[in-house]
A = this chain, B = another copy of it.
Amino acid sequence: MSNYSRQNNTILKIVEAHPHINIKEISDKAKFKIPTISLATIYRNLDKLESHQKIQRIHINREFVLYEKNKGPHHHFICTKCNTISDLYDPQINVCTSCLSGQHDFTINHINMNIFGTCKKCSQTLSN
């Protein structure tokens, strides 16, 4: 029993098929599969998929809103030259966050970390 509509399944598959994807790209790909799909339906289903924890919405400085499939806790590196985004699962981060929660009088639900810099490829290209 698929509790989800065709539109919903289509959108989920699209998000799952790309490491990070924005609304425009989701919309284009969804309309290729279902030409009549409405933008409102896309927003609605992205919201639903997120609240059902099938996908995650990530925000990079207001400029970018991207979706990715739920990969569990991780962080992002953004190259400010080529705008490439990489996932970071560095265990050091977890060590760090457990330190934090021990040192402060608050309980942590989740941590959102964006690391901005220059990727290896762009560093090499720039040294011309």
Residues of A within 8 A of B (CB): 59, 61-62, 65, 77, 79-80, 88, 90, 92-93, 95-97, 99-101, 103-120, 123
Query: Which chain B positions have C-beta within 8 A of A106?
Result: 77, 79, 117-120, 123
B116 with A112: CB separation less than 8 A: yes
List 30 A-B residue pairs with CB atoms under 8 Å apart, sorted by A's residue number.
Answer: A59-B62, A61-B112, A62-B65, A77-B104, A77-B106, A80-B109, A88-B100, A88-B104, A90-B99, A90-B100, A90-B104, A92-B96, A92-B103, A93-B100, A100-B115, A101-B117, A105-B119, A106-B119, A106-B120, A107-B117, A108-B115, A108-B116, A108-B117, A109-B116, A110-B115, A110-B117, A111-B114, A111-B115, A111-B116, A113-B114
In the A-B complex, the 6 residue pairs with the smallest Cβ-Cβ separation, listed nearest first, are A96-B96, A105-B120, A108-B117, A113-B113, A112-B114, A92-B99
**Please, which residues of chain B bring their CB within 8 A of the CB of A62?**
59, 62, 65
- A99 to chain B: which residues have CB within 8 Å? 90, 92
Is A93 within 8 A of B96, CB to CB?
yes
